[in-house]
Amino acid sequence: MKYPTIVLFALAALVLPTLATNDYLWGTIGDNDYKLAKDTVSKAFFVGVVQKKTYVFKQSNNLDALTITAIKVTDKKKSNGATVVLSSGGPGSKGATLKFTSERGCGISDLVEIWGR
């Protein structure tokens, strides 16, 4: 009885990380929020190299700039997705800087959506 359970947990521990994606959400998307930006961040893979990319969101007119309420990053890769760090700005501010880092030998392919009001 113990062995099938152990085998099941071991199999789940091997399979689930490969199915997991690196999706992120900072803040909350409200009913009255507008989509301020929708951009694809991508960088091709190179064998043995960790790829890095910085995404900067700025609004052109500071006087009429909306306040960011949420940033949603959706990983478009099924496995080996990039990690994302919100290095400055974000919810409650007018701009944001995101830093993407791929796994070694993998590329970056993410969808960034920024919401505000």
Domain spans of the chain, in order of start: 21-116
* CA dist., res. 79 & res. 47, Å (int): 16
pLDDT exceeds 50 at position 44: yes
Does residue 8 surpass a pLDDT of 60?
no
Read off the pLDDT of residues 15-37 as tens digits, 9 standing for 90 and up.
545 455 689 999 999 999 999 99
Q: How many CB atoms lie within 10 A of CB 85?
A: 11
Determine contact, residues 98/73, Cβ cutoff 8 Å.
yes
pTM: 0.79
